[in-house]
Amino acid sequence: MDFLQQDRISAAGKEKQQASAAVRDNGQTPADFSSIYSKDLLPAAGGEEMTRGFLQELVHILLSYISKSSQRSSKVLDFHHPHQLREGLDGFSLELPDQPENLEQILVDCRDTLKYGVRTGHPRFFNQLSSGLDVIGVAGEWLTSVANTNMFTYEVSPVFILMEEFLLKKMQSIVGWSADVGDGIFCPGGTISNLYSILVARYHFYPEVKTRGMGALPRLALFTSEHSHYSGKKSASVLGIGSENVFVVKCDERGKMIPADLESSIVAAKEKGLVPFYVNATAGTTVYGAFDPLNAIADICHKHTLWMHVDAAWGGGLLMSDRHRMKLQGIERAWSVTWNPHKMMGVPLQCSVILIKKRGLLQGCNEIGATYLFQTDKHYDVNYDTGDKSIQCGRHQDVFKLWLMWKAKGSQGFGSQVNKCLENAEYLYEQLQRRTDFELVFKHKPEHSNVCFWYLPPSLRGLQPGPDRDMRLHQVAPRIKGRMMEKGSLLIGYQPLGDKVNFFRCVFSNPATQQEDIDFLLEEIAQFGEDL
Ligand SMILES: *Cc1c(COP(=O)(O)O)cnc(C)c1O
pLDDT (tens digit, 9 = 90+) per residue, 70-89? 999 999 999 999 999 999 88
* Single-letter residue type at 228: S
**Whether residues 240 and 374 fall in one domain:** yes
Contact residues for 71 (Cβ-Cβ < 8 A; gap 6+): none
Calculated CA dihedral for residues 58, 64, 70, 72, nearest 10 degrees: -140
Q: For residue 116, is pLDDT > 80?
A: yes
Does 32 fall in a domain?
Answer: yes
**Whether residues 24 and 76 fall in one domain:** yes
Q: For residue 346, is pLDDT > 60?
A: yes
Does 469 fall in a domain?
Answer: no
Phi, psi angle pair for 282, to nearest 5°? -105, 130
Atom 4, ligand 1: residue with shortest CA distance? 190
Does 504 fall in a domain?
Answer: no
Q: For residue 23, is pLDDT > 90?
A: no
List the beta bridge partners of residue 251: 257
Looking at the structure of the chain, the number of domains it has is: 2
Instruction: Please state the length of the chain.
Output: 532
Residues flanking ligand 1, CB < 6 Å: 129, 189-191, 194, 229, 231, 282, 285-286, 311, 313-314, 340, 352
Alpha helices in 249-374 (DSSP H): 259-271, 294-304, 361-366
**Whether residues 229 and 105 fall in one domain:** no
In percent, the amount of the chain with pLDDT more than 70 equals 94
Over range 496-521, report the average pLDDT: 97
Q: For residue 7, is pLDDT > 50?
A: no
CATH of the domain at 253: 3.40.640.10
| Ligand 1 mean position, distance from CA 144 (Å) | 23
Please give the pLDDT value at position 91.
82
**Whether residues 155 and 114 fall in one domain:** no
Residue 104 pLDDT level (bands cut at 50, 70, 90): very high
Question: Rounded to whole angstroms, how far apart are CA atoms 164 and 61?
Answer: 32
Do 255 and 247 form a contact (C-beta atoms < 8 A)?
A: no
pLDDT (tens digit, 9 = 90+) per residue, 310-342? 999 999 999 999 999 999 999 999 999 999 999
**Whether residues 177 and 223 fall in one domain:** yes
**Whether residues 214 and 102 fall in one domain:** no
Longest dimension (CA), the chain: 83
**Whether residues 254 and 339 fall in one domain:** yes
Over range 395-414, report the average pLDDT: 98
Does 404 fall in a domain?
Answer: no
Please give the pLDDT value at position 15.
45
Please give the pLDDT value at position 17.
43
Do 473 and 501 form a contact (C-beta atoms < 8 A)?
A: yes
Over range 236-251, report the average pLDDT: 98
The residue to mutate among 129, 193, 231, having the most atoms of ligand 1 within 8 angstroms of its beta carbon, is: 231
Residue 508 pLDDT level (bands cut at 50, 70, 90): very high
Q: Using alpha carbons, list the distances in angstroms from residue 5 to 39, 54, 380.
A: 20, 13, 53
pLDDT (tens digit, 9 = 90+) per residue, 151-192? 999 999 999 999 999 999 999 999 999 999 999 999 999 999
Does 163 fall in a domain?
Answer: yes
Q: For ligand 1, what atom is nearest to the CA of residue 340? A: 7
**Whether residues 160 and 112 fall in one domain:** no
pLDDT (tens digit, 9 = 90+) per residue, 431-450? 999 999 999 999 999 999 99
Q: Using alpha carbons, list the distances in angstroms from residue 522 to 67, 479, 500, 527.
A: 25, 15, 21, 9
Does 50 fall in a domain?
Answer: yes
**Whether residues 194 and 305 fall in one domain:** yes
In percent, the amount of the chain with pLDDT more than 90 equals 93
The residue to mutate among 186, 340, 349, 507, having the most atoms of ligand 1 within 8 angstroms of its beta carbon, is: 340
Please give the pLDDT value at position 90.
86
| Ligand 1 mean position, distance from CA 234 (Å) | 12
Question: Rounded to whole angstroms, how far apart are CA atoms 247 and 299?
Answer: 18
Residue 25 pLDDT level (bands cut at 50, 70, 90): very low
Choosing from 348, 371, 399, the residue where a domain stops is: 399
Do 336 and 182 form a contact (C-beta atoms < 8 A)?
A: no
Over range 401-416, report the average pLDDT: 98
Q: For residue 102, is pLDDT > 60?
A: yes
Choosing from 369, 399, 429, the residue where a domain stops is: 399
Q: What is the residue-averaged pLDDT of the chain?
A: 94
Q: For ligand 1, what atom is nearest to the CA of residue 194? A: 10
**Whether residues 321 and 380 fall in one domain:** yes
* Single-letter residue type at 1: M
> What is the residue range of 23's domain?
13-119
Please give the pLDDT value at position 32.
82
b/e map 294-319, b = 16+ CB within 10 Å: bebbbbbbeebebbbbbbbbbbbbbb
Please give the pLDDT value at position 30.
52
Q: For residue 103, is pLDDT > 60?
A: yes
**Whether residues 30 and 115 fall in one domain:** yes
Q: For ligand 1, what atom is nearest to the CA of residue 191? A: 9
Over range 12-22, report the average pLDDT: 42
Choosing from 383, 399, 415, the residue where a domain stops is: 399
CATH of the domain at 27: 3.90.1150.170
Does 410 fall in a domain?
Answer: no
Does 71 fall in a domain?
Answer: yes
Q: For residue 13, is pLDDT > 80?
A: no
b/e map 418-446, b = 16+ CB within 10 Å: bbbbbebbebbbebbeeeebbbebbeeeb
**Whether residues 104 and 207 fall in one domain:** no
Rounded to a whole number of angstroms, the CA Rg of the chain reads 26
